[in-house]
Structure 1
């Protein structure tokens, strides 16, 4: 079921545990399928967090999975010049996070540090384990949050490594929709 009409502006507002500000950016609602809600982030999207901001020179689509999954996925497309997206350096980037919640057109979630990425050469890896361990102590993650993030990372890693949906071509339809809205 479509949450909004395609083309509706949305905002993604991430925090760290305890309400600490984190990444914030705007996008466009693209539609929904069995996997979840799909969001578009055109080239020029400004990503900002305290002390850091950049404008993307690449196009991305995001997936907010159904069923209260504990992650958010972003699929990246190389720039028109064929360069790989700047600081992301990944074809697919999945943040382990609390299940996302919509508040009207604002999507909110808490980033839990662990990430699963598929590099441009096809390598799949879990990254930022050191940050995850540091923040468990510094921010006081409850045991159930630690377990949720670790189990979610393993499930995403396994699915991505096995080439299962949505990590094997599901995003192409949504890139085409984003392109048609430009």
Structure 2
């Protein structure tokens, strides 16, 4: 795979510490944002911990100027959609994107259960620990509310468009 197709993805915590990080393949861009893919048995890390392989393929959408990212998992993974509430993705270069994970997550399970908002307790704890400014707290809550509605309505990037991008993950370049 050509090096220009690879993107280093670094989720960080508000104190700057490394959180989830992985190298993904650039699939393309549409009206929703930039799409990156990881094939089955792709590698990810949490912080500086040892690498983990993920059995299913997935794609991540990085919408411009939005306070979230969205991961779409291939079957049979139980969670179909996993949205991280984050600061807007910051493209340091075409080969590296970073954002701050703000703890709140919106999930949609493959069995149709959801969407559900999770990690509110962690969000509350980290507001105190990291001293999230009021504008960050407000943007995170507004994004979570918008995502709950959009995922439930299957609108915008949650209308099934991710299937096209998932199908590209294993295609040779």
Higher mean C-alpha deviation, range 160-169 or range 93-102: 160-169
Matched, 1:97 2:86: yes
Structure 1 segments (4+ residues) deviating >4 Å: none
* TM-superposed deviation, 1:54: 1.6
Select 2:131's aligned residue among 136, 140, 165.
140
Question: What is aligned with 2:141?
Answer: 150
How many angstroms apart in 2 are the aligned matches of 1:130 and 1:53?
27
What secondary structure does 2:158 align onto? Answer: coil
Could you tell me which runs of 5 or more consecutive residues in structure 1 were left unpaired when the two chains were aligned. none
Question: CA-atom RMSD, angstroms?
Answer: 1.8
TM-score w.r.t. the length of structure 1 is 0.87
TM-score w.r.t. the length of structure 2 is 0.92
Q: Which has the higher contact order (CA 8 A, sep 6+)?
A: 2
Could you tell me which runs of 5 or more consecutive residues in structure 2 were left unpaired when the two chains were aligned. none
Question: What is aligned with 1:159?
Answer: 150
Matched, 1:14 2:11: yes
Per-residue CA deviation, residues 79-99 of structure 1 (Å, 9 max, x unaligned), is xxxx42xxxx41000000000
